[in-house]
Structure 1
Amino acid sequence: MPLATFLLVLEDYMLPCLNKKLFGIDCPGCGLQRSIVLFFKGDFGAAFDMYPAIFTLIPLVLFSIASQFTRFRFDTYIKVTLGILSGAIILVNYIFKMTHLTH
């Protein structure tokens, strides 16, 4: 299946945010699915605007998968660093979104 077809199919099956449906506010993960689609479409600016942590989460996931097959010298250090950096970006972005709501 070509990447373009896969992305179109992926967009049709995105999960709704249960937190947003129940409580009416975004959760810290809101925007991640759309950001992944934008990233793979090559729209990196829009992917960043949608979910800034995408640029640390993708390397973290890819590195974690690769480390299952290959040993890296600073494996744990890299994973922990990317994990903390991702968590910090998610937290700062969430606080920013919640304090800059426009209604």
Structure 2
Amino acid sequence: MQTILLNITQWLTQHQLPCLVKSTIGVACPSCGLQRSAIALLQGQWWQSVQYYPALIPIIVWLLLVVVNQRWAVVQQQLLLKYGLLFIFSIIILSYIYKLTF
């Protein structure tokens, strides 16, 4: 299992897509760092993943909650979608402002 994960992370590292916004305009987009964050997360580097893209882990948790909720209806669907996405978009906007400022 570990060698499969290692092969996947090596392949992902070698095949990262360039950010079209950053290469065209010269300014990072709100999703810059997502690929590096996912690779760091697959390698078990949690803190590095958060530094690259702080919203990735909340996005994964939210997606898992949506899937679980679809199956077992644990939480009211509209609340989960509404407040989960509000939380995730807040993280994206705040981290993007921080990235542009510092």
TM-score, normalised via structure 2 length: 0.85
Query: How far, CA to CA, are the matches of 1:94 and 1:35 in structure 2?
Result: 14
Query: How far, CA to CA, are the matches of 2:96 and 2:49 in structure 1?
Result: 15
Aligned: 1:88 with 2:90: yes
Q: Which runs of 5+ in 2 are unaligned?
A: none
Q: CA RMSD in A?
A: 1.7
Q: When you count helix as a share of all residues, which structure comes out higher?
A: 2
How far does the alpha carbon of each residue in 1:71-103 deviate from its partner, in whole angstroms, 9 at most, with x for none?
Answer: 333233122222111100110111111111xxx
Query: How far, CA to CA, are the matches of 1:5 and 1:80 in structure 2?
Result: 37
Which amino acid letter does the alignment assign opposite residue 64 of structure 1? V
The equivalent position to 2:44 in structure 1, one of 42, 45, 54, is 42
Identity %: 29
Report how many aligned residue pairs link the two structures.
100
How far does the alpha carbon of each residue in 1:34-57 deviate from its partner, in whole angstroms, 9 at most, with x for none?
Answer: 101111211011011111112211
Q: Is the 8 A contact 1:38 1:47 kept in 2?
A: yes
Q: Which runs of 5+ in 1 are unaligned?
A: none
The equivalent position to 1:5 in structure 2, one of 4, 7, 19, is 7
Query: How far, CA to CA, are the matches of 1:87 and 1:56 in structure 2?
Result: 10
Q: Is the 8 A contact 2:50 2:57 kept in 1?
A: yes
How far does the alpha carbon of each residue in 1:19-73 deviate from its partner, in whole angstroms, 9 at most, with x for none?
Answer: 0010011000000111011112110110111111122111122223334444333
1:1-103 mapped onto 2 (5 Å cutoff): 2-100=4-102
